[in-house]
Structure 1
Amino acid sequence: MSALNLQKRNQNLSYRSHFLIIFLLSIITIDCSTYWSHRKKDLADVFTAGVESPGYGVGVRIGPLATGFVFQGGESEPGKRDLGTGYGLRGGSYGKYRSQQLIFAFLGGEKFHSMPNEEILPKEEPKQAETKPSDNFLILPETNDPEQDPNPTPELSDERQNAKSYEIRYLRFYNNPVSERRKAKKEAFFRKYLESLDPQKRNEAIQNFLAQNPKNKDDYPSAFLFEVELYISIRYGIRIGFNFAEFLDFLLGFTGFDLLEDDI
């Protein structure tokens, strides 16, 4: 029995030493500053703690399932949904952010994105002379959508903040027709194609089109499905939350595995 126990103990030590070697090699092969920067960001993704205004009500959200009665955000003028801001830790960033949410029993939706100093906003194109057919140009589709959001989710200069932004209607999560899913896939493919044409972001026409058609509109990151949030407000409110997927991503990140593919 003692020989068998000794053999098992040696096997356990062998497994631990192999794991330690792999862990150390993964750290050595990755730039240390970048590695720890990603770990810090992954940890920030796990928690939500912010103060928001204006808002009224109480609501709880578990993934896409929300319940309660919440009115948070609003309009500064008819048709311009530009109210609803917060300050704190949300979406992996600390600072000011846009927050709008409506919950009526089990219906409603919400919108979130960071509000850093820099946003990639569309620029006014100067009038130019008519181009000849031989000129090198790209014709982009018109974006005159009568139902277009007057205050769309902006395209931010930080790609990671873009990935954490979202706009979602809860009912649509459960009732998403095939035609709408196909349309979303086509739009995502076209957007990715445009981004590949201008990796340095120097083509003004392409960048204006991308800014006017943000990829996160009416969409959400995969970690959204594993988040638990509580919101309480009377004019000024608090939002606290915990994301189980982001916590797992944080733990696995120490081994070099990026579960949510957000180390950007």
Structure 2
Amino acid sequence: MAKRSSLITKPFYFSPIFLLTFLMIDCSSYWAHRKNDLADVFTAGVESPGYGLGVRIGPLAGGFIFQGGESAPGKRDLGTGYGLRGGSYGPYRSQQLVFGFLGGEKFHSLPNTPEPTNPSQKVETKPQGQDPNSSQGFLLLPDAPEGEEDPNPTPELANERQNTKSFEIRYLKFYNNPVEERRKAKKALFYKKFLESLDPEKKNEAIQAYLAQNPKSKDDYPLGFLFEVEIYISIKYGIRLGFNIGEFLDFLFGFTGLDLMEDDL
């Protein structure tokens, strides 16, 4: 009888262990999100090359800034920084042009692997010698228009959260974005997500080549971009400082389980 009683009560000894393990896993994810949210609030980086002085409040920029540049004609690959920006600490790409209130800006974290130095290196969308009736060639993808190819596109990083924080935007286009253009952008985003769902393991060469040549919309930006205040000052080497009120509220409300910026990935 005693033996039977011990068998009945045995699962109850293990249930606290399973509960504690579950809570530890959940808590580690919870505090990781709070740490990331706090890092999103501040911007502090050293950047080069750049010249000028300016301030940006959301998509409204003012001043005179030339930051970044080209190492070869058409190759916009200059402009780097190091510090805390976009919720990550480390090296990043930073390019910005402000003339009065016109201009644009590009930002993304730099990948761990070195970027290609040869601008002529391009991924082919149609592998040579591939049988169109084969299992790998079942999907015919349109080529990117030759005149619209970005010689230095925003890379797809291994860290999905860093991808969501990347942006490339033209300030004036933000205010003058016709309905037809918004519809095109939504269709392109839907098509991109559809292709990604067809090849979740990233093994189809045609799909991955197409996605690599069409990484992001040129006017895409994270939600937190709208609530950011930044100041930039530089004479070749400059500093960028910023505070994001939206991300600060996201950090505070995150303790209650709310994700205002939708970035708890």
Structure 1 and Structure 2 fold alike (TM over 0.5): yes
Matched, 1:47 2:48: no
* Aligned match for 2:105, one of 106, 110, 120: 110
CA RMSD, 1 decimal = 2.2
Q: Is the 8 A contact 2:40 2:85 kept in 1?
A: yes
Task: Provide closer, same or farther for how the CA distance between residues 247 and 30 of structure 1 changes in structure 2, counting only shifts above 3 A.
Answer: farther
Which AA in structure 2 matches 1:188?
L
Encode CA deviations 1:16-37: one digit per residue, 9 max, x unaligned: xxxxxxxxxxx95971111111
Counterparts in 2 of 1:91-130, with a 5 A limit? Answer: 91-118=86-113, 127-130=128-131
Task: Provide closer, same or farther for how the CA distance between residues 50 and 120 of structure 1 changes in structure 2, counting only shifts above 3 A.
Answer: closer
The secondary structure found in structure 1 opposite 2:33 is helix
Query: Counterpart in 1 of 2:195?
Result: 194
Separation in 1, partners of 2:147, 2:69 = 20
Encode CA deviations 1:123-173: one digit per residue, 9 max, x unaligned: 567633433378761111111330322111111111111100000000001
Larger CA deviation: 129-138 vs 150-159: 129-138
Separation in 2, partners of 1:137, 1:40 = 44
Query: Counterpart in 1 of 2:31?
Result: 36
The size of the alignment, in residue pairs, is 238
Q: Is the 8 A contact 1:61 1:229 kept in 2?
A: yes
Matched, 1:166 2:167: yes
Which AA in structure 2 matches 1:82?
D
* Aligned match for 2:58, one of 55, 63, 67: 63
Q: Is the 8 A contact 1:152 1:217 kept in 2?
A: no
Which AA in structure 1 matches 2:80?
T
TM-score in terms of structure 2 length: 0.83
Query: Counterpart in 1 of 2:10?
Result: none
Which AA in structure 2 matches 1:250?
F
Which AA in structure 2 matches 1:171?
L
Separation in 2, partners of 1:204, 1:45 = 35
Q: Is the 8 A contact 2:79 2:93 kept in 1?
A: yes
Report how far residue 258 of structure 1 moved: 1.3
Separation in 2, partners of 1:174, 1:74 = 25
Q: Is the 8 A contact 1:79 1:150 kept in 2?
A: yes
For structure 2, list consecutive stretches of 5 or more residues without a partner in the other structure: 1-21, 117-121
Q: Is the 8 A contact 1:120 1:154 kept in 2?
A: no
Encode CA deviations 1:48-89: one digit per residue, 9 max, x unaligned: 000000000000000000000000000101111110000000
Query: Counterpart in 2 of 1:4?
Result: none
**Identity among equivalent pairs (%):** 73
Query: Counterpart in 2 of 1:226?
Result: 227
* Aligned match for 1:86, one of 81, 87, 92: 81
Query: Counterpart in 1 of 2:13?
Result: none
Report how far residue 43 of structure 1 moved: 0.7
Separation in 1, partners of 2:132, 2:160 = 33
Task: Provide closer, same or farther for how the CA distance between residues 118 and 32 of structure 1 changes in structure 2, counting only shifts above 3 A.
Answer: farther
Separation in 2, partners of 1:126, 1:137 = 13
TM-score in terms of structure 1 length: 0.84
Q: Is the 8 A contact 2:62 2:99 kept in 1?
A: yes
The secondary structure found in structure 1 opposite 2:182 is helix
Task: Provide closer, same or farther for how the CA distance between residues 61 and 128 of structure 1 changes in structure 2, counting only shifts above 3 A.
Answer: same
Matched, 1:176 2:171: no
Separation in 1, partners of 2:202, 2:175 = 36
Which AA in structure 2 matches 1:249?
D
Separation in 2, partners of 1:60, 1:134 = 53
Separation in 2, partners of 1:171, 1:79 = 22
Separation in 2, partners of 1:89, 1:187 = 31
Q: Is the 8 A contact 1:118 1:157 kept in 2?
A: no
